[in-house]
Copies of this chain bind each other. A is one copy, B any other.
């Protein structure tokens, strides 16, 4: 049995304490989102996820989706859960009130996403993809298309997809072959095959709006010849309801390692009617504008898996009796001690915990920057926030999903053999979490984005925007006697990050393979330092609360102990990463292809 209780206390910590900026005005449009309102939303989301989504997680995995007579059936309970999700207004959370959305900030949306991912990642992909489609349309489509489609997507009666990948091209979209032929009425006819389309077909909504990358007849080769089209499953009738069936069909469902309740479709477009979104040949740009938020969401999937794994592991570690504490029996009244007494079990629990809380803190910071970027009245603030989110997006996506998969595997390990069998649901977390390291750009691609695009962008401006405040904070923390023991190792790790950055800037400039060869190690180093920084900041808040005589001593003491665990036991990995980075590409590129 999978268990979950939303970590609301820690979410409030991130939202109201860690990233709070008490002196500042609320962002325009968010004046009504007071802490009380935010908490109420989170509590409602927690209730929905726990009561409606969690019970369908294991059953959805066992049953999977089926393709019947050209129609995809989601597992038992999914249509009803989706109807409730829609009725609860959850599809509208992050959307513009102009289209019926609630206009909630990303800081809240991402916490709700975390809960959804913890309780039912497969389910979460359906509204998740819709929101991606919403953004593409809202950001780039004509007013007519917006008016026709956005209210339906926002209220969840229609859903959306992103159709990028083809069998021969995933990362390298420049190779794609789907064609779009302009028609006299201003529409286009789309023909081609797409694969790996999440939520490509299903029975949750009355219509599905596909956003499809395709080439116009006169398109230049490569990624500069790709356009974006809106292709509905049913063409809207004059009254706005779904009308005639369009030429898009699900030709097959993929059989996957995990997220089995999420329909991953092969879609055939056969002279399907579509409309251009944005400018011709500028489809990739339309994709990229929504990518920061999407990639943060995928990172959050890793965190969601980690949190579910943590809670499952803790529950089992408390109840499973096996052996005695090394330091002597802790529960002599029982046949054996609960395994939570064993240091090595605690190592596993503390590792996941440190990952999760660190990631939640960092994710919250990036989510905040997305809100500032979108809403702040001061263009300089907006630009700073945009720089920061652009820099952190690949870090968060790759780091959180790597750690989330690791956390899920650790959680399984706490169960021993009972984790490998299906009954407790731990192995599902591992299988489900694995995909997030791949989609929305593999984690290797994220590392190349960080090293190849984000570091050199604007002559290092993105990086300086991160380094300077971190450095200032750590320098001040070193002067604080209580905080210095935690700040010092993070400060040293930050020094390693600076050295690694300088190394890459120097070597990578002359030889891009040098940058490529160390990109993944650099991203991990960057991520560990960012988490370390979050942990010192969290510790500072905790120390202040304890000094103020908080009644929640356990919460803040645990925060301090977890900070210490991260900094003492995980952060030291930066030394090895720096050494690996310094060694360069030599050994990696030495083998001829035939020698592998």
Q: A417-B196, A595-B558 are in contact. Are A347 and B588 (CB under 8 A)?
A: yes
Residues in chain B near residue A587, CB distance under 8 A: 350, 561-562, 564-565, 568-569
Among the listed B254, B256, B314, B577, which residue makes an inter-chain contact with A596, where contact means beta carbons less than 8 Å apart? B314
The verdict on A462 contacting chain B, using a C-beta distance below 8 Å, is no
Does residue A442 face the partner (Cβ distance < 8 Å to B)? yes
Q: Are B255 and A422 in contact (CB under 8 A)?
A: yes
Interchain CB contact under 8 A, A568 and B593: no
**Chain B nearest Cβ from A489, distance in angstroms:** 9
Chain A: residues with Cβ within 8 Å of the partner, total of: 106
Decide: B569 and A575 in contact? CB cutoff 8 A: no
Distance from A187 Cβ to chain B, minimum over Cβ atoms (Å): 30
Complex alpha-carbon distance, A181 and B298, angstroms: 58
Contacts of A586 in B (CB 8 A): 564, 568
Question: How many copies make up the complex?
Answer: 2
Task: Report the Cα distance A511→B328, complex, angstroms.
Answer: 11
Give chain A interface residues in 189-213, CB to chain B under 8 Å: 195-196
Interface centre among A317, A340, A349, A420 (most CB of B within 10 A): A420
Is B255's CB under 8 angstroms from A444's CB?
Answer: no
Say which one of A86-94, A95-103, A357-365, A514-522 lies at the interface with B.
A514-522
Residues of B within 8 A of A515 (CB): 326
Instruction: Report chain B residues within 8 Å CB of A29.
Output: none
Q: Is the CB of A590 within 8 A of B564?
A: yes
Q: Say whether A422 contacts B343, CB under 8 Å.
A: no
What DSSP secondary structure best describes chain A's contact surface?
A: helix
State A195–B591 Cα separation when bound (angstroms): 47
Contact yes or no, B412 A434, CB < 8 A: yes
Q: Would B344 and A421 count as touching, CB distance under 8 A?
A: no
A102 shortest CB reach to chain B, Å: 33
A418–B587 alpha-carbon span in the complex (Å) = 28
Let me know if A327 and B513 touch, CB within 8 A: yes
Which B residues touch A336, using CB under 8 A? 172, 175
Q: Mark A325-367, 1 if CB is under 8 A from B, else 0.
A: 1110000000110101111111111100100000000000000
- Chain A residues 552-596 with CB under 8 Å of chain B are 554, 557-558, 561-562, 564-565, 568-570, 572-580, 583, 585-596
Q: A135-178, CB under 8 A of B: which get 1 and which 0?
A: 00000000000000000000000000000010011111001000
Say which residue of B196, B421, B431, B513 sits within 8 Å of A254 (CB atoms): B421
- Using a CB-CB cutoff of 8 Å, which residues 382-411 of chain A contact chain B? 405, 409
Q: A448 interface residue, CB < 8 Å from B?
A: yes
Q: Is A106 an interface residue (CB 8 A)?
A: no
Q: Which residue of B lies closest to A335 (CB)?
A: B175
Q: Please name the residue on chain B nearest to A569 by beta carbon.
A: B580
Cα(A442)–Cα(B452), bound, Å: 41
Task: Judge if A111 is at the interface, Cβ distance under 8 Å.
Answer: no
Residue A512 at the B interface, CB < 8 A? Answer: yes
- Where the two chains meet, the residues of A that have a C-beta atom closer than 8 Å to any C-beta of B are 165, 168-172, 175, 195-196, 254-258, 264, 314, 317-318, 321-323, 325-327, 335-336, 338, 340-350, 353, 405, 409, 412-413, 416-423, 427, 430-431, 434-435, 437-439, 442-444, 447-448, 452, 511-513, 515-517, 519-521, 554, 557-558, 561-562, 564-565, 568-570, 572-580, 583, 585-596
